[in-house]
Structure formats: structure tokens, C-alpha cells
Amino acid sequence: MRHVVSIVAVVPFATMVPSGAEAASIRACSLLDKELVEQVSPYDKQALDLVLKVPPNEDAAGQAGSQCDYGGITLAVDAFSPGAFDQMRERDRTWMPVGGLGDRAYFRDNKARWGELYVVVGSRVLSIQMAVPTGRTAASIQPNAVALAKAVLPRLR
């Protein structure tokens, strides 16, 4: 006699992928154009001119997201869910709250190489990683990351 065994895995997709109208995919590089990079970059003009010679590079990120690397900045939209970010933040207490952005926002110094800003707005997560220029600190470029988030957030709503 032959037996058939079925295994069903139930994955909580509601915590991984935005739902409803917000589920529409946003291409991260459509948000990070040259003019915006020039406005918010922490680099001096000479270094910025050099990094802008490399064209933007966009990749898929997570289940439904997109990530753009351009001009020393990595901007990702929906690479993971708000719940996944909250779990990560609870394990890593180096994230500091930032007021006035989205539903909640946090910034951290990632090994003195990157300033990272994560913003939750509705079911979306915007993440920004900015390279820390030589002689600067992550804290000194936090205003640059915040300015980028403020420019991009209206396009996520």
C-alpha cells in the first residue's frame, strides 16, 4: 500500500510583506537620484564627484523590497517588515530614537563605517545606510540621513 505524506509550512507572510494598497512595489533607485544625493551627501565635493562616477545599482531586497546603492548611500524600501526591524532593534540596543520621521525612526553608528537610519511608516520600512567619510563620525552625518529620509518619505505614503 502506498502512503502519501504532505508537509505544509505556514509562514506568517503578513509580517514579511506590506499588505493592501501599500503592497505596490517601489523601486529604490527611483527615489535616489543624483540631485538628491548631491543635496544630502556627507562627502566633500571632490569625493562626491568620484563616487558619483559609479552608476546607481538596484537589487531586489527581502520578500518584496528594493535596494539602491548610489553615491555612498544604500537606500532600501521594504527589505523587511516593521516587525522584523523591531525584533532586530530589541536584540541590538545601539539604535537611538529619532523624532519627527514616520511612525518611528532609529539611527545607529555601524562600526564607525556607516550611519544607519531606519524609518517605519505604516507597513513600510525605509532604511538608509550612509558611508562615514574619513575624519567624520556617524553622529556627524545623522542630519544628512535624516534629510534624505524627509525627502523620500512623502513618496512612500
Neighbours of 150 (CB within 10 A): 14
Q: What angle do CA 147, 52, 149 make, to 5 degrees?
A: 15
Question: 42 or 1: whose pLDDT is higher?
Answer: 42
**Given this model, what pLDDT does residue 57 score?**
95
The per-residue DSSP string of 109-135 comes to EETTTEEEEEEEETTEEEEEEEEPPTT
- Which region among 13-27, 50-64, 82-96, 98-112 has the lowest average model confidence (pLDDT)? 13-27
- pLDDT mean across residues, the chain: 85
- Which region among 3-12, 33-42, 78-87 has the lowest average model confidence (pLDDT)? 3-12
C-alpha cell of residue 85: 526591524
DSSP code for 154:
G
Residue 8 has pLDDT above 60, yes or no: no
For residue 30, name the pLDDT band (cuts at 50, 70, 90): very high
Q: Which amino acid is at 68?
A: C
The residue extents of the domains of the chain are 26-155
Report the percentage of the chain scoring pLDDT > 90. Answer: 71
Distance from the Cα of residue 96 to its chain's centroid: 16
Q: What is the pLDDT of residues 39-95, one digit of tens each?
A: 999 999 999 999 999 999 999 998 889 999 999 999 999 998 899 888 988 898 899
Rounded CA-CA distance 141/145 in Å is: 7
> Residue 70: exposed, middle, or buried by beta-carbon count in 10 A (0-12, 13-18, 19+)?
buried
Would you say 145 and 131 are in contact if contact means Cβ atoms under 8 Å apart? no
**Given this model, what pLDDT does residue 146 score?**
97
| pTM above threshold 0.75 | yes
**Run of H or E residues at 141:** helix 138-152
The CATH class that applies to domain 26-155 reads alpha beta
Beta strands in the chain (DSSP E): 57-61, 65-70, 73-77, 96-97, 104-110, 114-121, 124-131
Question: Which range is most confident: 17-26, 63-72, 78-87, 142-151?
Answer: 142-151
